[in-house]
C-alpha cells in the first residue's frame, strides 16, 4: 500500500468537503488502484487528507490524469497558505486498518527518529490495544522518505475515545506508549477530525 497525505489550511471547510465529494463522484470511477481516502478539517482549519493506493505507481498515474490536474487547480484555490504533500511508501495498518464507520479520527504527526522501530511497536501493541481500548477501531500509519510520520487512529466516537484515553494504562502498555512517544523529535502534533469524511471505491 502507498499513502499520500495532503495538508493545508482552508478558510471554508464546507467548500473543501464539496471538492472532495466531487472528486469521489466524478474522478474516482476512473482512478488507478485507489483504495479510499480519510479526510477532515481540524479546529484550527487544517485539512488533512490521507489517500490510499495499491502502489506508488498507481498514485503517480492518478496525478498525471488530465481531469485530476483540472480538479486540483480548482481545489488548490480553497487553501489560504502552503499545501504540503507527503508521499509515503512505508505503511502499517493495525487492527485491520481504518474503518469508514468511525465517528472520530485523530491524526498524529511528527518526525520520527526510527521508522522501523515505530512500525514494529505498532504491530507489537496491536492485540493489547484491541483488548484495552475497544473504542479504537484500527489505524493506519504512513512514513515518507524523510521520516515524516502521519497516523490516523479511528474511533467509534469522540466521546468514547475521550473516555478511553482517560483510563490508566497498565504498566507494560504505559512503558510501550512512552517509548512510542520518545520516537518523535520534539513530540507529535495532533489534529482531531470531529466529523471525518470517508471515501471508498464504489462497487
Contact 71, 120 (CB under 8 A): no
Residue pLDDT, tens place only, 32-43: 999 999 999 999
d(CA 34, CA 200): 8
Q: What is the mean pLDDT of the chain?
A: 94
Contact 194, 103 (CB under 8 A): no
d(CA 121, CA 119): 5
Residue pLDDT, tens place only, 26-70: 999 999 999 999 999 999 999 999 999 999 999 999 999 999 999
What number is the average pLDDT over the span 174-187? 91
37: nearest Cα among 4, 78, 11, 62 = 4
Q: Indicate the pTM of the whole model.
A: 0.93
Q: What are the structural domains, with CATH classification, of the chain?
A: 2-88 (3.30.70.100), 90-193 (3.30.70.100)
Q: How many CB atoms lie within 10 A of CB 193?
A: 23
d(CA 74, CA 70): 7
Burial code of 154-191, b = ≥16 C-beta within 10 A, e = fewer? bbbebebbeebeeeeeeeebeebeeebeebbeeebeeb
Question: Can you read off the three cell numbers belonging to residue 40?
Answer: 477532515
What is the H or E stretch that residue 15 is in?
helix 13-22
Amino acid at each position: 500500500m502507498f499513502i499520500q497525505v495532503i495538508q493545508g489550511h482552508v478558510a471554508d471547510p464546507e467548500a473543501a468537503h464539496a471538492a472532495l465529494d466531487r472528486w469521489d463522484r466524478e474522478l474516482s470511477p476512473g482512478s488507478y488502484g485507489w483504495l479510499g481516502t480519510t479526510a477532515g478539517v481540524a479546529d484550527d482549519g487544517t485539512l488533512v487528507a490521507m489517500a490510499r493506493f495499491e502502489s506508488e505507481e498507481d498514485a503517480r498515474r492518478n496525478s498525471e490524469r488530465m481531469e485530476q490536474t483540472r480538479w486540483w487547480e480548482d481545489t488548490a484555490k480553497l487553501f489560504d497558505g502552503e499545501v504540503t504533500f507527503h508521499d509515503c511508501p512505508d505503511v502499517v495498518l493495525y487492527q485491520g486498518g481504518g474503518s469508514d464507520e468511525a465517528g472520530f479520527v485523530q491524526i498524529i504527526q511528527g518526525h520520527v527518529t526510527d521508522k522501523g522501530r515505530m512500525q514494529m511497536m505498532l504491530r507489537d501493541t496491536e492485540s493489547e490495544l484491541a483488548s484495552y481500548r475497544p473504542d479504537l477501531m484500527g489505524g493506519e500509519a504512513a512514513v515518507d522518505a524523510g521520516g515524516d510520520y502521519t497516523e490516523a487512529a479511528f474511533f467509534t466516537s469522540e466521546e468514547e475515545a475521550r473516555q478511553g484515553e482517560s483510563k490508566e494504562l497498565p504498566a507494560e502498555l504505559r512503558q510501550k506508549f512512552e517509548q512510542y512517544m520518545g520516537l518523535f523529535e520534539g513530540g507529535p502534533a495532533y489534529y482531531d477530525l470531529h466529523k471525518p469524511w470517508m471515501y471508498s471505491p464504489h462497487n
